[in-house]
């Protein structure tokens, strides 16, 4: 049987989502908890790979087991007790056999948070950036971004992909509150390092260090070397993963846990 997990995590302590040899990952931590609770080796596949230090308000992963699981609130609570405080499982549901956390996903929505004032409670959770940014000009850059589909200029040079095309649904900046400036972007897929590089380049626009004409030239160049520096990981959040109706319906049937 195949199950989807909906979870969230603070990425500060992890070397990204994917299991790797040189550090602790969210994936390996989740697999260890499931293996301990179920008494058999469990391997999970995530909807996408977040970089080291990136957070997720909503992430999905799937795993397979030979027998049905006891999907009760007590079962979910016991898993959350095994996991560290910075990873939380919200629900586990049975899904169709061919449902795939990564390949069945039809959209991903990210946010990037910037605060101007230092906060004892936001350390590691936002980019603390003091200069005042021109949000109108940055939103004008978003309108240019939405006219394009090839984002090779914003992908890491070592990105192992067959193409650099992404279909953007929206991209804009807004003030979440008086102090927090948030970048919103949703697409069918994202390239490795894409959102952070777009943010870093738009910060230059917001400081009048880069013109809108030059921004479009950067997109058309399809060359990572001409774009700005990637913004730090700590301000980036995966906030929503979209799936087709049959998978969404499955999530409406299973129990959920917030504890």
Of 7, 69, 13, 10, give the one whose Cα is nearest residue 37.
Answer: 69
Q: How far apart are the first and last CA of the chain?
A: 25
**CA quadruple 240, 244, 246, 251: dihedral, nearest 10:** 0
Helix H or strand E segment including 204: helix 194-206
Q: Which of 51, 169, 213, 246 is catalytic?
A: 51
Burial class (CB in 10 A: 0-12, 13-18, 19+), 131: exposed
Pairing between β-strand 180-187 and β-strand 236-242 as defined by DSSP bridges: unpaired
Residue 110 assigned to a binding site? yes
51 is known as an active-site residue? yes
Q: Angle between the 212-221 and 194-206 helix axes, to the nearest 10 degrees? A: 160
Phi, psi of 201, rounded to the nearest 5 degrees: -70, -40
Could you tell me if 106 and 16 are in contact, meaning their C-beta atoms sit under 8 angstroms apart? no
Query: Which residues are part of a known binding site for substrate?
Result: 110
Give the active site residues.
51
Binding-site residues from annotation: 110
């Amino acid at each position: 049987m195949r199950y989807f997990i909906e979870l969230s995590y603070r990425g500060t302590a992890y070397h990204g989502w994917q299991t790797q040899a040189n550090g602790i990952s969210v994936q390996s931590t989740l697999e260890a908890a499931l293996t301990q609770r179920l008494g058999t080796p469990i391997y999970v596949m995530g909807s996408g790979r977040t970089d080291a230090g990136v957070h997720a308000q909503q992430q999905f992963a799937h795993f397979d087991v030979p027998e049905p699981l006891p999907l009760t609130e007590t079962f979910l609570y016991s898993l959350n007790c095994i996991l560290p405080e910075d990873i939380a499982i919200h629900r586990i549901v049975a899904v169709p056999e061919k449902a795939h956390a990564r390949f069945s996903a039809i959209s991903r929505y990210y946010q990037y948070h910037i605060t101007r004032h230092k906060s004892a409670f936001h350390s590691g959770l936002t980019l603390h950036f003091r200069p005042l940014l021109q949000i109108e000009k940055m939103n004008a850059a978003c309108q240019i971004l939405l006219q394009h589909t090839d984002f090779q200029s914003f992908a890491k040079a070592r990105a192992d992909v067959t193409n650099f095309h992404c279909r953007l649904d929206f991209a804009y900046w807004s003030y979440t509150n008086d102090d927090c400036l948030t970048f919103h972007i949703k697409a069918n897929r994202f390239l490795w390092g894409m959102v952070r590089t777009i943010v870093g380049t738009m910060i230059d626009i917001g400081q009048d260090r880069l013109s809108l004409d030059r921004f479009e030239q950067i997109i058309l160049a399809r060359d990572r070397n001409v774009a700005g520096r990637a913004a730090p990981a700590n301000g980036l959040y995966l906030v929503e993963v979209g799936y087709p109706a049959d998978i969404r319906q499955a999530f409406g049937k299973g129990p959920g846990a917030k504890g």
